[in-house]
Structure 1
């Protein structure tokens, strides 16, 4: 009996040690993913410093540059769900490797672009350039459901770091060494990210249960029906509608900010760089130090409601702002509402579907952002030209107020049903 008890204790100790090692390995992988995401955002903002200057040298006017940006939005709109499906079928590591490889090709094509046609061609790899969604897929697979929102919010901290580093580095390289050298530097940096994926990301990040579940489903990456079926899960369609309706007005303001900064606030390129750094710092503080504490204390539905309410107030304030100082006062609540809104909706949507489909769901979430970037410039341009800055802020106030009242009514109805 004693020997059997000792054997049982030993097995329990080995099991706990193995579980601790697994948890440590998962944490290490998530930290590596954070590093990859921060590097990718750095290269992305470096590209933002290259493309406008190169486009100007190649003879692009504002209209054609807008066509170039719209092309990226349309490509990623359709590429997002397929990329997510690819991650679920083949694996998140393969998807992350593909995204990093596409970054390398993207920067090489940018470096050799010597005509307007080549500048359009270099955007083609963006169809699979989804490093940030792929990073979200790995984090969602490796994090526990109750800690998923906090884990995903840390990617926002990486975004802020990359925004500041990439904008600074890109401006320095373009000014001192030219656009092509900066583009080749982006290709070299993307190669580093690719090697990190190969060396540190496990071949599969799905749990055994999710992996077995995915093996019983359709293996076709281009299965539109399989992607569309996710909308039938409880709460998914409603959350998606909320994500689009409440996210569109703020998305319009974001895509129009470069014009607003130039025409309304009269910012110089240097001052605009400081403003972008201010955005990055605000996002880092919110997602790195605030959001995790909030998700630990409050429910996700309550945080979603608060974020939409704050966004409505921010829209009203931006409708009446007159100078850059007044705008700076709205930046912190704006970044808070955007960060909470994006993280909570992504977390809710991934929890609403089986773990074998989290990649596809995050791909659909990425396509929402691409949709906003595609239609945002057109809607924002019409509003700004015909009605001014007031119309953009007021649209955000009206849209988010309506969504806020709808979600509040839904919560009150659920509480009443629970009491009954």
Structure 2
């Protein structure tokens, strides 16, 4: 009985420590999203002052997509090899440099140069890795959805704060404020995040692998696990149209809805509130009650209908109505696909897998701005919604006929 009591006490202590680390990671994520959305209140308006049109704004966003597309898998591999603290420290430090370069941007070329540090700006995938490492597989989707709650908080605070600061004090002050905020995030990482969050029992296999961060074989090896490739294909094909709309939203808000910086901040804050409610109070119970496959199919079908509604939206009011099902479907889609992917690989490779998953989103950001800019300038914003409707309806019907196989968590 004494030994059992000691084991129980040790288990409770580890659980409490894991919960503390996860809560700090939630805070770091919320702060990171706050600074990113603060930046979104600066870049489009600064770019316009420097002579960018819609097409060049698309090129600027495509640049970020390409850089993070290349950096995502490598960063994930780096996180698996060197641990959570080092990975998050690198991501936060890169964001500080990103904001400092934005603060001194006074030429169109500088707007492209300041995007270079985004190759390492992967706080969210690193946070997802920590949460994945410290939670049981059956609780993973719920825990990952709480990161979405942090995303909503950051979206609200960052958008409103960015809009206010940009309107009152200008782009330079706002960018410097973001740099200082990221220094605070870095201090939290150094103080509270352990060197590694991997299960000690998995370290032996990881240490026997090639230590090269740029070992493409170790990265692409994960695609051979059962269920990974089909899930990736669904994530890319179904996510591309909605990804186009997301990356074009700042342009649509400025050009189509004629929103000023502060108004745009309020709009983004509204989006954040909706996402916060969905991921904080709705998504968790759904993941307990329904299978991941069913939730994935439902989210794709709903995204298709949202695209049709977006195509015929002409006012800010009706867009605010459509935002609710739009954020719900996107939240379910992203959380469920990430959960399915991390369950398909050994726990020692979750960072690399989440880096690959982030690269899918960055692939959409790479193709999306150029495609979205072309569609918007030649066919109007309704064309983006109609393409989303058609593509997601095809994927929805396909998954109804041939659903993805249920993914069981892999053990070492």
Common fold, TM-score beyond 0.5?
A: yes
1:242 partnered with 2:234: yes
- 2 CA distance for matches of 1:166 and 1:274? 10
CA RMSD of superposed structures (Å): 1.9
1:55 partnered with 2:47: yes
Task: Work out which of the residue numbers 336, 343, 347 in structure 2 matches 1:351.
Answer: 343
1:308 partnered with 2:300: yes
Within 5 A, what are the aligned runs for 1:172-251? 172-251=164-243
Q: Which residue of 2 aligns with 1:103?
A: 95
Deviation readout 1:296-334 (Å, 9 max, x if unpaired)? 111111111111111111112222333333222211111
Distance 1:263 1:284, change over 3 A: same
Q: Please report the TM-score for the alignment, with normalisation by the length of structure 1.
A: 0.92
1:152 partnered with 2:135: no
Deviation readout 1:127-167 (Å, 9 max, x if unpaired)? 00111111111111111111111111111111111111111
Distance 1:261 1:190, change over 3 A: closer
- 2 CA distance for matches of 1:375 and 1:226? 26
More off after superposition, 187-196 vs 42-51: 42-51
SS at match of 2:211: coil
- 1 CA distance for matches of 2:269 and 2:160? 9
Q: Which residue of 2 aligns with 1:404?
A: 396
Distance 1:57 1:342, change over 3 A: same
- 1 CA distance for matches of 2:266 and 2:175? 23
- 2 CA distance for matches of 1:113 and 1:262? 21
Q: Which residue of 2 aligns with 1:4?
A: none
Distance 1:273 1:50, change over 3 A: closer
Between the two proteins, the alignment pairs up a number of residues equal to: 406
Cα offset for 1:172? 2.2
Task: Work out which of the residue numbers 11, 17, 35 in structure 2 matches 1:43.
Answer: 35
Task: Work out which of the residue numbers 368, 373, 397 in structure 2 matches 1:376.
Answer: 368
- 1 CA distance for matches of 2:99 and 2:312? 41
CA contact (8 A) 2:96 2:182 kept: yes
- 1 CA distance for matches of 2:143 and 2:288? 12
SS at match of 1:46: helix
Which ranges of 4 or more aligned residues in structure 1 deviate by more than 6 Å? none
- 1 CA distance for matches of 2:44 and 2:259? 17
Q: Please report the TM-score for the alignment, with normalisation by the length of structure 2.
A: 0.94
Q: Which residue of 1 aligns with 2:409?
A: none
Cα offset for 1:405? 1.4
1:335 partnered with 2:307: no
Cα offset for 1:61? 4.3
Distance 1:392 1:56, change over 3 A: closer
Q: Which residue of 2 aligns with 1:6?
A: none
Distance 1:173 1:263, change over 3 A: closer
Q: Which runs of 5+ in 1 are unaligned?
A: 1-8, 415-420
SS at match of 2:226: coil
Distance 1:160 1:227, change over 3 A: same
- 2 CA distance for matches of 1:332 and 1:144? 30
Q: Which runs of 5+ in 2 are unaligned?
A: 407-412
Q: Which residue of 1 aligns with 2:81?
A: 89
Task: Work out which of the residue numbers 107, 121, 134 in structure 2 matches 1:142.
Answer: 134
More off after superposition, 317-326 vs 78-87: 317-326
